[in-house]
Amino acid sequence: MEKIKAVMLIMNYDIYPRSEINKQKIADYKEALRSGVVFPPVIADRKTKEAIDGFHRIKSFIAVKGETAEINVEFRDYKNIWEQRLDAARSNSGHGMQYDHYSQTRCLIWAIEHGEEKDKEEMASALNITLERVEKLIGTKTAIDQDDKIIPIKRTIRHLAGTKLTSEQIIFNEKEASGKELLKIANELINGFKRDAIDWGNQQLVDALKELRNLLQNKIREVS
């Protein structure tokens, strides 16, 4: 184990297995650091200084202790990006937040891209899932992008699994979709109206509901 400045570690999201950084997890880690908790070392590539495991810890550490502070690092050696990704998936599945299906599928696509059947087996082992689960995720949680590459999709658009997405659908999937089923979102909003639980004093919410009304009216005219 070594100590280096936290800002020297590179957070390369091409080898990060999770779908996104969890802001609540960072807030929790920052509070823990301020209370004196000592975290285990992060894992990084010895040659490139790319973080393999510990993105949330690195961000929290810099936020609390500053850019000049040193952090404990366990350096490892990797031959290529596949070895980095496999170890990142394995390290992240062993602790911390549970993987969601989107993140698991993201990792499995890495294995498919690497090109050998055994790669899916290795990634399945790293994610602690069965090969049967692998095939189900690939069949129900992926679509095709504009470059004909396979990409993971969130539950929000699972009805589009296996199809080629438009550029607008890709933006929605990657940047805007919450991961909830659309029916659940609609029912939650409906029940909010029924129970008089809508915050009508929130002007941003009111404006969003007005936009939703207009979109629904236009769509209903299209299909009627």
Which residue numbers in the chain have pLDDT < 70?
A: 94-96
CA distance to 9, 135, 166, per residue, from 142 (Å): 31, 11, 14
CA 24 remoteness from chain centre:
14
Distance CA 73, CA 108 (A): 27
Token pair belonging to 45: 């590539």
The predicted structure's pLDDT at residue 95: 63
Query: Which of helix, strand or coil describes residue 144?
Result: strand
Give the tens place of pLDDT for each residue, 132-144.
Answer: 999 999 999 999 9
Under CATH, which number does the domain 1-85 receive?
Answer: 3.90.1530.10
CA atoms within 13 A on the CB side of 192: 11
d(CA 213, CA 140): 31
**Tokens of residue 158, six digits:** 């699972």
| Model pLDDT, residue 14 | 96
Residues of the chain with CATH 3.90.1530.10: 1-85
Q: Tell me if 9 sits within 8 A of 51, measured CB to CB.
A: yes
Contact 10, 18 (CB under 8 A): no
Tell me, what amino acid is at 85?
Answer: R
Q: How confident is the model at residue 96, as a pLDDT?
A: 62
pTM: 0.86
Q: In 3D, which of 82, 128, 139 has the Cα closest to residue 152? A: 139
